[in-house]
């Protein structure tokens, strides 16, 4: 039968040319450019930093901190010292008698504080009644429930079809745990709390009222706490797994060597060498809370506010909240 030219039935001639490669299979090669491209003149890329700063100053930002510990360890005083303002629950409820509740009750107070044009919406959550009872079994359950409730609230806002441009953030970014200054070892209550809470929130342990210990006792107590945390595989903030680069790791390694911070809180000023300083007045002198030679409060302040505040928020969003979100969505997808 006669066949048309180009038909598949025609015998094909052997050609020396290589077969045509389909267009989608041709590999694309991109010429590598120089790592640091030199500009001919000023472009203005650095102005994006000013734009971000102006936008942040207009909208402000949120920071939520939780303080946990037994009564009488100076939690409210420490928060007032951190932010140099009356932000504790005691100052917001004048005239009310302080009573130890029978169960753990969580109290949150929100303030807007401003410094040099930067506004911060600060929420302080206190946990009166924690560890004050004879039987402290499962006393961490209300705290875990509260933290998960804030994740759930954020998740519900996030999965809405028409959601807000800026979702209100009530998630706990950092939990400061106050260890009693016993000078011995961590109690089972301390270990169990940090073991459970470190999985869902950034836990920063501190030795409360460190002025009750001598420098030698403080150093030994800190060493024992570090051994306890390592033995029980408790990962407190800053966690080694989340270090981004060698510089962050080097900085965080120095911080991890000093954790837990031995702190002293004071919200009253005293005259020392012609200066007004925050401190606690005793018969033999004034304990200056912002003096590194007296206590490690400056290290705690730098960690929570000056150097790692944004990192606390990022880890809360990208790690703790993300694990909660994945768990919740997996539960809802199960038949």
Q: Do the beta carbons of residue 120 and residue 63 sit within 8 Å?
A: yes
Alpha-carbon distance values, 318 to 9, 172, 305, 315 (Å):
62, 13, 19, 5
Alpha carbon 218 to chain centroid, angstroms: 25
Q: pLDDT, tens digit, for every residue of 265-299? A: 887 778 888 888 888 888 888 888 888 888 888 89
Please give the Cα distance from 54 to 47 (Å, whole number).
11
Report the predicted TM-score, pTM, of the whole model to 2 decimal places.
Answer: 0.81
pLDDT for 6 equals 47
Q: Which DSSP string do the residues of 159-203 spell out, in sequence order?
A: TSSS--SS-------EEEEEEP--SS---HHHHHHHHHHTTTS-E
Please check the confidence at residue 260 and state whether its pLDDT lies above 70.
yes
Q: In this structure, what token pair is assigned to residue 300? A: 């705690």
pLDDT, tens digit, 9 for 90 and up, residues 138-174: 889 999 999 999 999 999 999 888 888 889 999 999 9
Q: How many CA within 13 A on the CB side of residue 115?
A: 10
User: Measuring CA to CA, which residue among 51, 76, 61 is closest to residue 113?
Assistant: 61
Residue 257 three-state SS: helix
CATH class for domain 49-88+100-264+297-333? alpha beta
What pLDDT does 322 receive?
96
Structural domain boundaries in the chain:
49-88+100-264+297-333
Q: What is the mean pLDDT of the chain?
A: 83
State how far the Cα of 29 lies from the Cα of 37, in Å rounded to an integer: 20
Question: What is the C-alpha separation between 329 and 335, in angstroms, rounded?
Answer: 12
Tens of pLDDT, residues 295-325:
888 899 899 988 899 999 999 999 999 999 9
| CA distances (Å), origin 240, targets 195, 197, 235, 245, 250 | 16, 17, 8, 11, 10
């Amino acid at each position: 039968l006669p066949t048309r030219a180009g038909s598949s039935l025609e015998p094909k001639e052997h050609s020396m040319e290589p077969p045509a490669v389909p267009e989608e299979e041709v590999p694309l090669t991109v010429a590598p450019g120089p790592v640091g491209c030199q500009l001919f003149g000023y472009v203005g890329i650095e102005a994006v930093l000013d734009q971000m700063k102006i936008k942040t100053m207009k909208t402000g930002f949120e920071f939520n901190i939780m303080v946990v510990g037994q009564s009488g360890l100076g939690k409210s005083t420490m928060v007032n010292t951190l932010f140099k303002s009356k932000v504790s629950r005691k100052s917001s409820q004048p005239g009310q008698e302080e009573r130890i509740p029978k169960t753990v009750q969580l109290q949150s107070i929100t303030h807007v504080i401003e410094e040099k044009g930067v506004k911060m919406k600060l929420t302080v959550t206190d946990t009166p009644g924690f560890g004050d009872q004879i039987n402290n079994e499962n006393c961490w359950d209300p705290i875990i429930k509260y933290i998960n409730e804030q994740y759930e609230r954020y998740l519900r806002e996030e999965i809405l079809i028409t959601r807000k441009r800026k979702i209100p953030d009530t998630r706990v970014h950092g939990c400061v745990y106050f260890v009693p200054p016993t000078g011995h070892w961590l109690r089972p209550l301390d270990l169990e709390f940090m073991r459970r809470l470190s999985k869902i929130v950034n836990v920063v342990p501190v030795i409360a009222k460190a002025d009750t210990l001598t420098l030698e006792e403080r150093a030994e107590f800190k060493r024992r706490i570090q051994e306890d945390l390592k033995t029980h595989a408790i990962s407190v903030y800053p966690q080694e797994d989340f270090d981004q680069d060698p510089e962050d790791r080097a900085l965080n390694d120095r911080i991890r060597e000093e954790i837990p911070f031995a702190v002293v809180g004071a919200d009253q000023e005293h005259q020392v060498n012609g200066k007004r300083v925050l401190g606690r007045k005793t018969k033999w002198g004034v304990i200056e809370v912002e003096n590194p030679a007296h206590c490690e409060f400056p290290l705690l302040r730098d960690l929570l506010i000056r150097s790692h505040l944004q990192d606390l928020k990022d880890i809360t969003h990208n790690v703790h909240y993300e694990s909660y979100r994945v768990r919740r969505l997996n539960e809802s997808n199960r038949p």
